[in-house]
């Protein structure tokens, strides 16, 4: 089992207790269990990381509060003895469930334990095979002061740049009634929201339930009298987490908000208060129902200095860590106590965030054993500071300093426009794909800008602002290495710098800008290679709002120019002809020039024959289809629609702009709270 280098004391206790339990339970004479009812065979088969497996047990005889019944399932990997012990959760109608996500292939055993005989003593064997989708990854964890993600079953990790994106108008989940996600539905909401996040350089979505944990649609403790978890709320959240993980994204949760008189979005006021009876019942349920699912992390809330103590936070984190069967990172804004996995910052209390790259480095160096996160939401133009250039440069500072996380987005309270050049943020994400490595550290003496390099002197990234030249000291390399540069102020487009020899040298840029240079052969999954067996997918498609004769089709990886620009590979029904095609510089987007679309007509785009750049090439699934329409009403708001046609077994997401009257917009149908 992969754990972070910094491990709260509760983790240590859990590991020791888990080891003792596993050892003792191999000696039946020492394992005294209650008498159980008829046992159930729990045998199942599954695949690594996803989808999670689930079991249901019926228990009609229990007469107490079902959310307080304690029962666990212990999973042990036969070859390594790696254990995962997870609570069961009440699922309604006299049923209890428990879940399992495999972290290793091979054989696992499972045994249930409870003082209740109906839930005790059930056993089974689980056979886990490799996941057929190579893009499916494991749990988010840590490596020193970097975020990391599990990619292998023997502790292999990849570095992870943690960036959250919020859009508090199109995909609100920031203290609003999240029931609208259920009707969206969740899979569609995730695909669209995640596509927007990626277009803005991010990989993580955001949800803040507050008291919806206990009653869907309710934010304040003053507006309900519930004391048990709301099953519908959990169903929505788990669907969002599962869909985001399947799409390669991540979900950040805020458990609570603040305790202002007009809000009261905290456990204060619940029976027992913070970490009291109701609060810890909820914490147990989160650990049981969401704990086995990869793809999420959790902060405690905001304005914490106003309502919660360090001791109470340590109790919260320690209790959850003790309940989790799988690691999940926990943090609390502007708090750093040892039970928390991440050091988090509150910009309001810190002069509105880092003023320079040096500020970011200082924060990362202040605690080298835990990742760091700027958890204040730096919405576009918030504080009159986070304009397009400032935001873009913060993205680069955070990465070049060693990987601090950030929280970005758009909120209509702070800005009358979204980011004018989101392609600059997307370029940051595309550049670092496969290039941000676990052992990279700053080495700024090697340049007149900023430098990250690995310990073996095989991989370098240089970054310099407002310049037409970059000094690169590559004396430590053992030979020549390939290099590329990008202008960070533009959409992602690589400039091939050829092979760079070892030695101190200066690259002369074609003009002044903010430049980034990568030197070395990186294991970029977007690069062509013999090991690539994954076919390209459509990640989104959109018609230009201002021009009904253009359709943009985005692919999951760079595609082959010849096949991607072949007009015959694209067909649109309802008498729309494809007239011309154009491929973007990064190879990921094809713009179709078409005859005019008519409003209020449903269209189907069918794509065939498009290949990636691997050798041998992989071809998109036959008859991949995207359904879209443009509604022809005036004075309506643009939002994104994603629709799927099940023509293949490959998941295909497509997005197109259409017009929706403001009164039907989900954000305006919900109570909007501006923070």
Domain CATH number, residue 449: 2.60.40
Q: CATH number, domain at 76?
A: 2.60.40.10
CB 245 within 8 A of CB 237: no
Q: How many CB atoms lie within 10 A of CB 577?
A: 12
**Is there a domain that residue 356 lies in?**
yes
Residue 4 lies in a domain: no
- Taking the whole predicted model, whether its pTM rises above 0.85 is answered as no
- Residue 347 sits in which domain range? 140-432
174 and 107 in a common domain:
no
- Using CA atoms, how far apart are residues 395 and 250, in angstroms rounded to an integer? 18
Judge whether 254 and 302 are in contact, CB under 8 Å: yes
Cβ contact 395:163 at 8 Å: yes
Q: Between helices 186-199 and 422-432, what is the axis angle to 10°?
A: 90
CB 541 within 8 A of CB 553: yes
In a domain, 318, yes or no: yes
Q: How many CA atoms lie within 13 A of 531 on its CB side?
A: 6
Output the pLDDT for position 348: 58
| CATH code at position 294 | 3.20.20.80
Do 427 and 453 fall within a single domain? no
- The pLDDT, as a whole number, for residue 556 is 73
Instruction: Please check whether residues 636 and 655 belong to one and the same domain.
Output: yes
**Main-chain dihedrals φ then ψ at residue 167, nearest 5 degrees:** -125, 105
- Report the C-alpha gap between 415 and 386 in whole angstroms: 10
Whether residues 277 and 196 share a domain: the answer is: yes
Same domain, 448 and 368: no
Domain of 606: which CATH number?
2.60.40.1220
**Structural domain total, the chain:** 4
Q: Are residues 382 and 480 in the same domain?
A: no
Domain boundary among 409, 432, 455: 432
Nearest-10 Cα torsion for 663, 669, 674, 675 = -150
Rounded to an integer, what distance in angstroms lies between the CA atom of residue 71 and that of residue 255? 24
Let me know whether 428 and 299 are in one domain. Answer: yes
Provide the 3-class DSSP secondary structure of residue 243.
helix
Pair (92, 222) in one structural domain: no
**What's residue 223's pLDDT?**
96
- Indicate whether 186 belongs to any domain: yes
Residue 231 lies in a domain: yes
CA dist 544 and 551 (Å) reads 6
CA distance 113 to 72: 5
Alpha helices in 128-185 (DSSP H): 179-183
Do residue 124 and residue 146 come from a single domain? no
For the stretch 312-337, what's the b/e string if a residue is b when 16 or more beta carbons lie within 10 angstroms of its beta carbon? bbbbbbbbbbebbbbbbbbbbbbbbe
- Residue 398 token pair: 């955070």
Supply the pLDDT for residue 352. 61
- Same domain, residue pair 233 and 337: yes
Q: Per-block average pLDDT, block size 10, for the chain (675 residues)?
A: 40 44 39 55 97 97 95 97 97 98 97 97 97 93 96 91 93 92 94 94 96 97 97 98 96 96 95 98 98 98 94 97 97 94 80 82 95 91 87 97 95 88 96 96 98 96 98 96 97 96 97 98 51 71 70 83 94 93 84 88 90 86 81 37 36 33 32 32
Q: Is 651 inside a domain boundary?
A: yes
Helices (H) and strands (E) in the chain, counts: 10, 35
> Does 169 share its domain with 313?
yes
The backbone torsions φ and ψ at residue 432, rounded to the nearest 5 degrees and listed phi first, read -85, -5
Instruction: Give the residue from 487, 519, 551 where a domain finishes.
Output: 519
Identify the CA nearest to 565 among candidates 550, 589, 582: 582
Establish if 526 belongs to a structural domain.
no
601 with 659, same domain: the answer is yes
Final residue belonging to a domain, choices 432, 463, 490: 432
Position 543 scores a pLDDT of 66
Structural contact between residues 74 and 25, judged by C-beta atoms closer than 8 angstroms: yes
Residue 527 lies in a domain: no
């Amino acid at each position: 089992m992969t754990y972070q280098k910094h491990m709260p004391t509760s983790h240590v206790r859990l590991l020791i207790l888990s080891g003792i339990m596993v050892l003792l339970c191999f000696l039946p004479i020492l394992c005294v269990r209650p008498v159980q009812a008829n046992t159930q065979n729990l045998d199942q088969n599954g695949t690594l990381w996803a989808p999670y497996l689930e079991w249901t047990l019926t228990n009609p005889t229990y007469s107490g509060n079902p959310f307080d019944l304690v029962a666990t399932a212990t999973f042990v990997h036969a070859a390594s003895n790696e254990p995962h012990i997870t609570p069961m959760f009440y699922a309604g109608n006299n049923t209890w469930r428990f879940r399992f996500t495999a972290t290793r292939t091979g054989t696992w055993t499972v045994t249930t334990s409870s003082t209740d005989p109906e839930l005790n003593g059930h056993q089974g064997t689980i056979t886990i095979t490799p996941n057929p989708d190579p893009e499916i990854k494991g749990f988010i964890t840590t490596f020193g002061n970097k975020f990391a993600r599990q990619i292998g079953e023997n502790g292999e990790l990849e570095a992870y740049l943690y960036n959250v994106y919020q859009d508090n108008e199109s995909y609100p989940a920031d203290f609003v009634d999240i029931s609208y996600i259920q009707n969206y539905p969740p899979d569609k909401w995730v695909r669209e929201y995640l596509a927007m996040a990626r277009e803005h350089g991010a990989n993580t979505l955001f949800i803040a339930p507050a008291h919806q944990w206990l009653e869907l649609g309710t934010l304040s403790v003053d507006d309900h009298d519930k004391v048990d978890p709301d099953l519908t709320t959990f169903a929505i959240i788990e669907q969002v987490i599962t869909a985001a993980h399947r799409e390669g994204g991540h979900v950040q949760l805020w458990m609570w908000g603040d305790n202002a008189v007009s809000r009261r979005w905290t456990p204060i006021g619940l029976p027992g208060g913070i970490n009291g009876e109701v609060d810890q019942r909820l914490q147990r349920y989160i650990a049981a129902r969401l704990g086995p699912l990869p793809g999420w992390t959790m902060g405690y809330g905001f304005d914490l200095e106003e309502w919660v103590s360090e001791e109470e936070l340590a109790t919260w984190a320690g209790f959850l860590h003790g309940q989790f069967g799988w690691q999940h990172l926990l943090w609390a804004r502007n708090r750093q106590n040892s039970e928390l996995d991440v050091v988090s910052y509150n910009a309001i209390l810190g002069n509105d965030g880092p003023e320079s790259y040096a500020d970011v480095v200082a924060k990362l160096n202040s605690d080298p054993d835990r990742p760091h996160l700027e958890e204040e939401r730096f919405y576009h133009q918030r504080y009159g500071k986070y304009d397009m250039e400032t935001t873009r440069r913060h993205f680069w500072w955070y990465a070049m300093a060693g990987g601090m996380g950030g929280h970005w987005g758009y909120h209509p309270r702070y800005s009358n426009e979204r980011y004018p050049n989101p392609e600059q943020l997307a370029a940051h994400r595309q550049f670092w794909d496969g290039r941000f490595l676990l052992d990279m550290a700053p080495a700024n003496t090697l340049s007149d800008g900023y430098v990250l390099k690995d310990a073996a002197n095989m991989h370098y990234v240089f970054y310099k602002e407002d310049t037409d030249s970059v000094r690169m000291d590559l004396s430590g390399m053992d030979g020549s290495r390939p290099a590329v540069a990008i202008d960070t102020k533009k959409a992602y487009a690589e400039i091939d710098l050829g092979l760079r020899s070892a030695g101190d040298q200066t690259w002369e840029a074609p003009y002044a800008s903010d430049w980034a240079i990568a030197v070395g052969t990186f294991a970029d999954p977007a690069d062509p290679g013999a090991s690539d067996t994954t076919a390209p997918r459509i990640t989104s498609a959109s018609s230009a709002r201002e021009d009904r004769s253009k359709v943009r089709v985005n692919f999951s990886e760079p595609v082959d120019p010849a096949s991607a620009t072949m007009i015959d590979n694209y067909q649109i029904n309802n008498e729309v002809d494809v007239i011309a095609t154009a491929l973007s510089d990064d190879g990921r987007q094809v713009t179709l020039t078409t005859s005019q679309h008519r409003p209020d007509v449903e269209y189907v785009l069918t794509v065939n024959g498009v290949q990636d750049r691997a050798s041998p090439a992989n071809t998109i699934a036959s008859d991949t289809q995207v359904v879209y329409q443009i509604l022809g009403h005036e004075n309506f708001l643009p939002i994104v629609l994603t629709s799927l046609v099940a023509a293949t077994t490959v998941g295909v997401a497509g997005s197109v702009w259409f017009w929706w009257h403001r009164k039907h917009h989900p954000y305006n149908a919900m109570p909007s709270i501006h923070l």
